[in-house]
Structure 1
């Protein structure tokens, strides 16, 4: 049975000045009129992880329209919107004791805000105040009995969504909610628009597959970011994207929205141009296009098929049992590259491993930048081929494999090239960028190199044997605590640290937390018989059916977790140096 709000307030006032451990007395649930506050976990001291607090309201009291909060995808979008509303409220009121999480430019499935059949719930982390190790009970009472209910009123009462603080506008006059401008309330109309935008983005992503396309970039998109360490759009001097007429495509969505822009077909597309003219910017936008984006981001109509994976060289990473023989074979040492293992891969070996691992877990498109690639993996020019005979060179460059990778495995590639024309003759499309303005130059590129019949030997890409982790693969003897994310680019797994800094499509530290949870989940699946791909498919099915909450196994407050893609979960598993496979 829930306690009244007054009980929580009086308990906290009475605890003022007592030792910090006495905060454990407030654990429980409390009625706040239309809301219920659950205090699921109380931190043990002022320096421990924050306390876990939930606010919940039933649907009737919240009053939200059912037509935008019933379907699963709509709930994800509406929860994202309310997440941003709550974050704005806390920022505007300089409330630092209550943590809801920090939204980015992407719309992700998260645990921070939940919408289900019964109602709405916010999952908060609360730093309970102290002076030294003594309870500040009066301040704690203000936080839990005043500030938390005010947050709930702002987020979860539909009639309270107001435009008293209208969102910033971008250059086209559209609302521009962003992670750098969180101090704005949103209206009920904005909520509906947010959900509809998400619907349209997902519908357009579905159309890509139906029409044989890899990606779409809408006319008017703003691709440059404000700076190298910011993901918000450039606010001045940004060149709006305009499609070349030869690649222009128009979609009409079921909502009536009509979109025109550049459609990138499946196959091999090479993007060229001078330095600082936008090549890497467009590739970066395509990397992020696997996620829906908020209005005003500039990339809300950059839509990429959802399995697209960025591939790069990554010196020093561990590789376990990968079949890299399509690219590296006949090593002088005699090592079998059909099941290659190393604790310290070179640039070319790591890039080959990254590629075959991406294809193994279902990537239908690869995104590659020449600047972050190993040169000897990518190309070998005619003079080098003449000097070093093919039978003395164990590396077959990617340029020789890119066409059969598509024709025999159905895997497309978008490649940024600034210093070599080697890929022109195998490209279906060549796009040149000049001051961020694209032009299709395929015909001219083909004339320059002369078209040759590409080596289309598909036997190099015979389906490799499944990799089957051992039952104890994720149960190292040194592991006594659960896996834990360390920021965006690292997971601690036992005494080992998994480096994810090269996994560029991770966009939020909460996704890294999701990867840590997924590794714990996978540890219980591996049984000496289940392959890596089968286990990942099981995780994906579970997430689709039950949501991110199920990944954590917590019945109450699951913490702040965002859903990672299978590609990034696999990236972490493959980089774990303790991974062992069944022989």
Structure 2
């Protein structure tokens, strides 16, 4: 390995040369206490910055093993170190001058959620730390300005590393508090299933956000308080306890007037699948980790999904067991989203009436009298929500502000009153009973013992529909990356004169592009960071090169992707000589969601006929 002096000598030699001479710096260099690795050098001062990594041995970093001996602790510790490094780097970025991106020092920007990221990792065996960042190599025009890069490598970065990556330089009590919080969050997650709960919201939680574009907590907001009937006390680490609202498995309905906090509570539960940092206000809002937010999504593509549980007997005789469209309606998209969530293993659905298709949710009694069931291909959610829980063990938390159709179906009914929940289950059930004629009609499949047409294709003796068919087999389309058999070796590779590079581009949290196709993910609302979309791009490209073979189902492919990342790390799916710094691991549910919106994939049992 070369020394830091070797790097300085090299930089002095290439000073004032053309920018491509920076390529000679690529390699690893021993600095006092750490290794600096120049993994990829940008080709131009205006191009994407160079990729750098800092490696600190476990002996040098000296973090006690108790701080990283569990996966959730490692994620929390790395998240904290990344935030500390970022604060230091901000004080130095662009302090080295030059053209283009010269002087940039950039690391992943962490939000309120604690995510596993490629930007900072710690080895569970020996405590070795790796931090990945981007640096804009300085230039005057397109001429190397080595003196400014020497500033970055020999003055700025050593300060960042010293103040963020060595345990002796940090406040040990604050680091321990971060780990204790992650232990507490994990303890709550473990207790939910045996207690029959799908979510928990702690008393004192701050749910409202500062604004529509900020996830930081609102100053002076009303703090959460559980209704007495739903209050539970859970055990935390160190013998401590916490009290709050336990939401039971089954069907929970959240009602209330406008601006009283219904959607605010649901949004907190959506993000409760992730841990949050101290001070966020939602640190102890913990939701079943498989929960999926479901909404209407007009215009999305559907790749041969079995939506026959909800839609059948279409006038155009279109097959709803292998439903295929490039431009779904609100109702068909929401039906597909429910079924695809089931396929992805979701055990909790989160639904807001405001973002749902009304004809997917309910048909009132008058409409059912005017337009007979025989003329309506949609079986609304109100007639399936009980079945989802009883037959498939899938709970639902539903926000409703204008329709009382779900009162009869709900196990628990909460009214949000100035951001405070009240358990009105008994009262609401009684009012629904007294209201009588306006209550939802019995489920179509049980009316007078007559089978509903939406289930006639496979009605069983119990009067319920069988589980949807999840035997979908993807095939890569014409815009997909080159398959492995054609020699693709990762971004930037070329073989037999063929350019096999895969171009992955992310547009915030809205979409990810793979080569020429854009995958619209703006309505996959539990994607909380653009780095998750970047990772999805790599995962889909890798799957097309290695796992999509015309024989494996989508579920098998996602299983293989997760196992690959678990056993070999994110670097394995990037197929490049270095691991990009800007990756954050999405959940299994979002991996499925990305596949389901990837128009290049031809998916279905009968696709080869």
Task: Report the equivalent of 2:472.
Answer: 467
Deviations 1:452-497 (A, max 9, x none): 8953766324242411112668836798524333322211122111
Deviations 1:379-426 (A, max 9, x none): 111111111000001111111110011100111100000011000010
Q: How far is the alpha carbon of 1:226 from its aligned partner? A: 0.3
Task: Report the equivalent of 1:573.
Answer: 595
Q: Distance in 2 between matches of 1:476 and 1:157?
A: 41
Q: How far is the alpha carbon of 1:72 from its aligned partner? A: 2.7
Q: Distance in 2 between matches of 1:453 and 1:201?
A: 42
Q: Secondary structure at 2:193's aligned position in 1?
A: helix
Task: Report the equivalent of 2:378.
Answer: 395
1:548-559 → structure 2 map (5 Å cutoff): 548-554=570-576, 556-559=578-581
- Point out where structure 1 has 5 or more consecutive residues left out of the alignment: 162-186
**Contact 1:474/1:579, CA 8 A, preserved across alignment:** no
Q: How far is the alpha carbon of 1:430 from its aligned partner? A: 0.5
Deviations 1:144-171 (A, max 9, x none): 222112111112211111xxxxxxxxxx
Q: Distance in 2 between matches of 1:242 and 1:79?
A: 32
Q: How far is the alpha carbon of 1:253 from its aligned partner? A: 2.6
Task: Report the equivalent of 1:172.
Answer: none
Deviations 1:297-320 (A, max 9, x none): 000000000000000001000001
Q: Secondary structure at 1:261's aligned position in 2?
A: strand
Task: Report the equivalent of 2:212.
Answer: 228
Matched, 1:526 2:548: yes
Q: TM-score, normalised by structure 2?
A: 0.88
Q: How far is the alpha carbon of 1:427 from its aligned partner? A: 0.3
Q: Distance in 2 between matches of 1:539 and 1:151?
A: 35
Matched, 1:129 2:129: no
Task: Report the equivalent of 2:175.
Answer: 191
**Contact 1:517/1:551, CA 8 A, preserved across alignment:** yes
1:6-405 → structure 2 map (5 Å cutoff): 6-94=5-93, 97-116=104-123, 117-118=125-126, 119-161=128-170, 187-236=171-220, 238-405=221-388
Size of the alignment, in residue pairs? 556
Task: Report the equivalent of 2:510.
Answer: 489
Q: Distance in 1 between matches of 2:481 and 2:130?
A: 36
- Point out where structure 2 has 5 or more consecutive residues left out of the alignment: 95-102, 434-438, 447-461, 483-498
**Contact 1:479/1:493, CA 8 A, preserved across alignment:** no
Q: 2:582 aligns with which of 560, 571, 581?
A: 560
**Contact 2:108/2:581, CA 8 A, preserved across alignment:** no
Task: Report the equivalent of 2:564.
Answer: 542
**Contact 1:404/1:458, CA 8 A, preserved across alignment:** no
**Contact 1:214/1:304, CA 8 A, preserved across alignment:** yes
Task: Report the equivalent of 2:491.
Answer: none
Q: Secondary structure at 2:584's aligned position in 1?
A: coil
Note closer, same or farther for the CA distance 1:452–1:345 as it changes in structure 2 (3 Å cut).
closer
Identify the range of structure 1 (262-271 vs 118-127) with the bigger mean alpha-carbon deviation: 118-127
Identify the range of structure 1 (336-345 vs 477-486) with the bigger mean alpha-carbon deviation: 477-486
What is the Cα-based RMSD across aligned positions, in Å? 1.9
**Contact 2:481/2:502, CA 8 A, preserved across alignment:** no
**Contact 1:468/1:530, CA 8 A, preserved across alignment:** yes
Q: Distance in 2 between matches of 1:29 and 1:373?
A: 53
**Contact 1:317/1:345, CA 8 A, preserved across alignment:** yes
Q: Distance in 2 between matches of 1:436 and 1:580?
A: 46
Task: Report the equivalent of 2:421.
Answer: 438
Deviations 1:63-93 (A, max 9, x none): 2111112333222211111011101112244
**Contact 2:474/2:554, CA 8 A, preserved across alignment:** yes
Identify the range of structure 1 (143-152 vs 552-561) with the bigger mean alpha-carbon deviation: 552-561
